Structure 1
Amino acid sequence: MLERTGEWALRIWPVFVYLFLFLPIGYIVVYSFNNGRLFLSWAGFGLNGYRSALTDPQVLSSVATSFKAAAGAAIFATVLGSLAGLSLARHTGRWSKFFVVLLALVMVTPEIMMAISELPWFVSLGVDHHLSIFNNGIVRLILSHSLFSTAVVAFIVRARMSGVDETLEDAAADLYAPPIRRFFQITLPLMLPAVVAGALMAFTLSLDDVILSSFVSVEGETPWPVYVFSAVRSGLRPEVASMATMMLLVTLLVMGLAALVLRRGTGSSLRAMQGIAGGR
């Protein structure tokens, strides 16, 4: 009897876990169809929230700012983090351990401390040193979000490449493939799953960042999380939930595209080796 009870509990337990994870998201999705003036005041099912979200200039501007910053931060952090992770995986030693500690230090540093330090840095560069590019709100968001995301991408790529044998790369070198060709046809396909995962993580971290964005953003380029945070003070409206639902769908679409890329990338390293060997 006790064994059957334990087996039944193990079967039903994942249901509670999934409810705990997705019930708040489902709550937002349901209330995105609220026709009331306030989020918590249900006034019937409708699409007023979506109409308001798609016609409100402030909402559209904040969402556009967030996507621009997230895309830029993902590209910047992915390039820097991927190369750093590859270097740390391929060149182990005393200095690599030191750099790993530095990357870990970036990840554990409180975000409020990073925000306080970055604001005067941007002001000093943009005003005192007359580097006007650092007065641009998108540039500030990209750079500030990339600092943390680069470390995340580096650790993901390092973990991936540390478990990958260098046999294919050595074989390509034996076939007189130049370093650039070895990287793009052998190394990059091997690390592609980690690169895509790191890019998605960097994109997500930038998209929902509140603390850094609140400190470094400038007037006229307010990102979506900062807009939502300020909207809560005056009462959350249904269009916020509607836009959040649409952004959730976009995120799922991006994840689906990433899965498609990873699926097509399977076995590309072996095909590249065959191409190198055939072109020798």
Structure 2
Amino acid sequence: MTAPTVVPPVSGSTEAGPPPRNPQPRSWTDRLLALWGLLVLVFLFAPIVVVVIYSFNEGRLLIAWDHFGFGSYTGLLDRPAIVSAVKVSLQVAVLSGIVATILGTLAGVAMARRPGRWAYVFMVLLLLVSVTPEIVDAVSLLPWFVYLGTDAGVAVFNNGLVRLVIGHSLFSTAVVSYIVRARLVGIDESLEEASADLYAVAHRTFRKITVPLAMPAVLSGFLLSFTLSLDNTIVSAFVQVSGSTPWPVYVLSSLRSGLRPEIAAMSTIMLILTLFALALVAVVLRRSGDSAADIARTMGGG
């Protein structure tokens, strides 16, 4: 048997293929939308960038630039009022985040796994808590704390840290509830049903199956509660007592005498702390198998 003859390709011939795609020129609407997006980003982040830059101001006042330096950072420990306010804010943020995460997780699981008329009524009540102006919450909390702490004799409600934790947890609990519910509604119940078929008791199923499934939402809910607490000014201004002044109230009171660069320096440090927490939760969600879109949806409560 003779080997088949291989015909060499003709010189200059090219293999047939799809014609090259020429990039289409961008229309004026695309350029306009890109410009508009850039303006929105500048509008959102320019104030933050300005605060970070002015945190290196060596002048006496924040708005009067003198020269570049790190004195506002190195002198933070010499300002006990600033250190105390930040310490109170961090303590309240962590404690209120824990309280809101526990209560919100239980509420979210109940609404997702035990649907019914009560769940819709409960969701409406949580929505009412979410949309109520903070000034209304603050005005209603103050006489309640005064009555319980003074008239009823429950001394714990005279503690400024307890007041702040309760006040900050109310709104955050509603937010965590929605995030956890949104997470569990989109997950099939087959694993939990399989656990019940294997005669696992309810609390063991909740601990071994439901909580791990909801953990990405629980983490993002805690993070959101933490950041909301750091930013809570109105409720803090009403319910605080002497010796437990949080950071936002301290900054607000400093407006009377003029903001100093140390305030911008501490605000920058707290901004870095918040970004670090965001990055940490994103890494945890990513390692759990969530895509970038899932991470953004979970952090947004969707």
TM-score by length of 1: 0.91
Q: Could you tell me which of 76, 89, 93 is aligned with 2:99? A: 76
Root mean square deviation, CA, Å: 1.7
**Deviation of the 1:3 alpha carbon:** 5.7
Counterpart CA distance in 2 for 1:27 and 1:252 is: 17
Separation of aligned partners in 2, 1:242 and 1:10? 35
Among residues 183, 186, 211, which one is paired with 2:209 in the alignment? 186
Tell me how far 1:263 sits from its aligned partner.
Answer: 2.9
1:278 counterpart residue number = none
**Are 1:228 and 2:262 an aligned pair?**
no
1:128 aligns with 2:146: no
- Cα distance in 2, alignment partners of residues 120 and 5 from structure 1: 58
Matched, 1:46 2:64: no
Give the alignment partner of residue 87 of structure 1, picking from 110, 113, 137.
Answer: 110
Distance 1:240 1:185 in 2: 45
Mapped contact 1:134–1:140 kept (Cα < 8 A): yes
Give distance in 2, aligned partners of 1:266 and 1:168: 17
Q: 2:287 aligns with which of 261, 264, 271?
A: 264
Give the corresponding residue for 1:277: none
- Counterpart residue identity of residue 176, structure 2: V
- 2:137 is matched by which residue type in structure 1? M
- Paired with 1:185 and 1:12, the residues of 2 have a C-alpha distance of 49
How far 1:2 moved relative to its partner?
9.4
8 A Cα contact 1:189 1:265, kept in partner = no
2:156 is aligned with 1:156: no
| Partner of residue 271, structure 1 | none
Aligned to 1:13: 36
Asked if 2 retains the 8 angstrom alpha-carbon contact of 1:29 and 1:241, the reply is: yes
Preserved contact between residue 62 and residue 221 of structure 1 (Cα < 8 Å): yes
Deviates more, 1:201-210 or 1:49-58: 49-58
| TM-fit CA distance, 1:156 | 1.1
Kindly state the Cα deviation for residue 176 of structure 1 after the two structures are TM-superposed.
2.5
For 1:4 and 1:255, the matched residues in 2 are separated by: 36
Matched, 1:61 2:84: yes
The partner residue of 2:54 within 19, 28, 31 is: 31
Moved more, 14-23 or 76-85: 14-23
In structure 2, what is the equivalent of residue 96 of structure 1? Answer: 119
Instruction: Provide the C-alpha distance between the structure 2 equivalents of 1:264 and 1:2, rounded to a whole number of angstroms.
Output: 40
**CA deviation profile, 1:223-273 (whole Å, cap 9, x unmatched):** 000000000121111000000000011111112222232233349xxxxxx
Cα distance between partner residues in 1 of 2:26 and 2:55:
44
- May I ask how many residue pairs the two structures share in their alignment? 267
Correspondence 1:168-247 to 2 at 5 A = 168-247=191-270
**Code of the aligned partner of 1:154:** S
User: How far apart are 1:51 and its partner, in Å?
Assistant: 2.1
Q: Which residue does the alignment assign to 1:107?
A: 130
Structure with the largest fraction of helix: 1
Please, what TM-score do these two structures have when normalized by structure 2? 0.84
| DSSP 3-state at the match of 2:98 | helix
Unaligned runs of at least 5 residues, structure 2: 1-23, 291-302
1:138 equivalent in structure 2: 161
Match of 1:167 among 179, 187, 190: 190
Runs of 4+ in 1 over 4 A off after TM superposition: none
Contact 1:36–1:42 (CA<8 Å) still a contact in 2?
yes
